Amino acid sequence: MKKSKFGLLVLSALTAGLLFCSPYTNAAETKPLIPVTKDFKLPNGLRVLISEDHSAPVAALAIVYDVGARNERKGKSGFAHLFEHMMFEGSENVGKTEHFKYVESAGGSLNASTHPDFTNYFEKLPSNQIELAMWLESDRMRSLKVTQENFENQLQTVKEEKRSRIDNQPYVPASIQMEELMYDNWANQHPTIGNFDDLDHSTIHDVRQFFKTYYAPNNAVMAIVGDVDSAQMEKLVRKYFATIPSQPIPATPDLTEPVQTKAKSLKVDDPHAEAPAFWVSWKAPARREPDYYALGVIEKLLSAGDSSRLYQRMVKGDQNALKVEAGYDERRGPSGFEAFVVMKPDTTPEKVRESLWSEIEKLKTEPVTDTELEKAKNQIMRQLFSSGSYVSLQRSLGRAELLAEYTSFFGDPYAFDKDIQKYNQVTAADVQRVAKKIFTKEGATTVDVIPKHADPKKTAFNN
């Protein structure tokens, strides 16, 4: 995919260090990439950011609730994801599934997602319809219908989602077991979709208490971006949200992870897999920790496109892999970095592992060239500025979600600009240092997938 002209221009400015800004910059410096026109907090604790952009007659509203799987308790897993579904089951003035009907009838789109450390909701609409999104979001924040019927209905929906998207998909169940094995702390290791035994044995009181605790204005950040008037938006926000009561919010759970000093391994039979595969994963730094930026660059070096190191070595060169990719699961708590390989059936696990580890060792022993380092940084910027990217700054929704997330997670909407500067400051020495620190043999967790038609001689998976 080609970079847009806008993306290339912005990238050039970023590389030159011209666009970095923070709340403490002076007037001579350039505006931040997502300028905040108004930033205020209601007495009930809801923080709101507004960013005016009159280039197109659209506006986006994004809300981040500071609740995810990590906030659940043992024996009560799955509540965070369940509520992503429950939030569309109706409220005092909105009927079941009518949230979709209202937004789509007004020419808009909407969605939501649940993560280990947060849950988000959004609407994108013609700008003259943005008040509709405020009304809908405030009504369900204030008066969601948490009934036994809705609970049981959405529990069945979530179960079907698990069957179709996880249980019956090749390699996906093994990926969940990989996380459960890699992490030692239950708050980090249990899957976001939850354990259905926990939900089946929960009461409607448990469900209502979870909603009251976490779906409170003082546990949320809202961002509005687009063709709007800030003063008018503030009036509407106060109209719809100011009377929603705040709630006591529990402390952040203990997310600490012990350092892994011995390699872990597991073999998983997969009736849906056609080819053998494996994961190798490592515990990794949390989002915005010092080593986070170098590890983000390493992800691109290893796995961004057909020119990446792993693709060139294992798919094109050694020709022992059908697919290879690396990913950094960035969380605010302990995170994970993983490599996933689908092997060619006519090779052996030992040969494929040798190729993978060889490329990882090169990161430790051979400084990355200036050209390759620049390419990796450009690929990070491309995600932010290419028009086809989901989080593109060319999209009002992308900007709204970034504003809401950075403000919710770090209390600073301008931390986004700081992150871009830090990515561009990563050096070849940083890449070597972080690779040596993270990618150790004793810190590796390996999960091998045995396909349904496995040849025992070729799937021995000796570690």
pLDDT 10s digits, 49-72? 999 999 999 999 999 999 999 999
Do residues 420 and 317 both lie within one domain?
yes
Residue range 341-351: average pLDDT? 93
R_g of the chain, CA atoms, integer Å: 23
Q: From residue 267, give the alpha-carbon distance in Å to each of 276, 283, 318, 349, 428.
A: 11, 19, 24, 12, 36
- Report which of residues 75 and 21 the model is more confident about: 75
171: left (phi over 0), alpha (psi -120 to 50) or beta: left
Question: Where residue 12 falls among pLDDT bands split at 50, 70, 90?
Answer: very low
pLDDT 10s digits, 403-423? 999 999 999 999 999 999 999
In a domain, 19, yes or no: no
The Cα–Cα gap between 336 and 351 comes to 25
Question: Where residue 454 falls among pLDDT bands split at 50, 70, 90?
Answer: low
In a domain, 188, yes or no: yes
In a domain, 306, yes or no: yes
Question: Where residue 384 falls among pLDDT bands split at 50, 70, 90?
Answer: confident
Question: Where residue 457 falls among pLDDT bands split at 50, 70, 90?
Answer: low
Residue range 91-96: average pLDDT? 95
Do residues 120 and 63 both lie within one domain?
yes
Residue range 311-339: average pLDDT? 97
pLDDT 10s digits, 98-116? 999 999 999 999 999 999 9
In a domain, 257, yes or no: no
Check residue 385 and give its pLDDT.
85
SS3 284: strand
Q: What is the pTM of this model?
A: 0.90
Question: Where residue 4 falls among pLDDT bands split at 50, 70, 90?
Answer: very low
In a domain, 246, yes or no: no
Do residues 235 and 278 both lie within one domain?
no
Residue 244 has pLDDT above 80, yes or no: yes
In a domain, 434, yes or no: yes
Do residues 351 and 444 both lie within one domain?
yes
Do residues 377 and 447 both lie within one domain?
yes
pLDDT 10s digits, 150-209? 999 999 999 999 999 999 999 999 999 999 999 999 999 999 999 889 988 989 999 999
Q: Which two tokens stand for residue 242?
A: 């100011």
Residue range 440-444: average pLDDT? 98
In a domain, 317, yes or no: yes
Residue 21 has pLDDT above 50, yes or no: no
Do residues 311 and 429 both lie within one domain?
yes
Residue 86 has pLDDT above 50, yes or no: yes
Residue range(s) defining the domain that contains residue 122: 33-241
Check residue 456 and give its pLDDT.
52
Do residues 107 and 170 both lie within one domain?
yes
Percentage of the chain exceeding pLDDT 90: 85
Do residues 409 and 296 both lie within one domain?
yes
The Cα–Cα gap between 360 and 357 comes to 5
Check residue 254 and give its pLDDT.
96
The number of folded domains in the chain is: 2
SS3 333: coil
Do residues 80 and 142 both lie within one domain?
yes
Do residues 297 and 394 both lie within one domain?
yes
Q: What integer best gives the mean pLDDT of the chain?
A: 91
From 206, 241, 276, give the residue that closes a domain: 241
- CA-wise closest residue to 44 among 182, 186, 254, 240: 240
Q: Residue 177 is part of a domain; what is its CATH number?
A: 3.30.830.10
Place of tokens 């950040």: 221
In a domain, 185, yes or no: yes
Do residues 207 and 296 both lie within one domain?
no
Residue range 234-257: average pLDDT? 96
From 241, 275, 297, give the residue that closes a domain: 241
Percentage of the chain exceeding pLDDT 70: 91
Do residues 190 and 307 both lie within one domain?
no
Place of tokens 């209601």: 42
Check residue 455 and give its pLDDT.
58
CB 322 within 8 A of CB 275: yes
Residue range 121-129: average pLDDT? 98
pLDDT 10s digits, 252-309? 999 999 999 999 999 999 999 999 999 999 999 999 999 999 999 999 999 999 999 9
Check residue 9 and give its pLDDT.
31
Q: From residue 283, give the alpha-carbon distance in Å to each of 112, 310, 361, 449.
A: 27, 20, 17, 20
Q: From residue 112, give the alpha-carbon distance in Å to each of 64, 87, 144, 180, 346.
A: 10, 9, 16, 25, 42
Going by C-beta distance under 8 Å and a sequence separation of 6 or more, which residues neighbour residue 103? Answer: 109, 110, 123, 125, 132, 133, 136
Residue 144 has pLDDT above 80, yes or no: yes
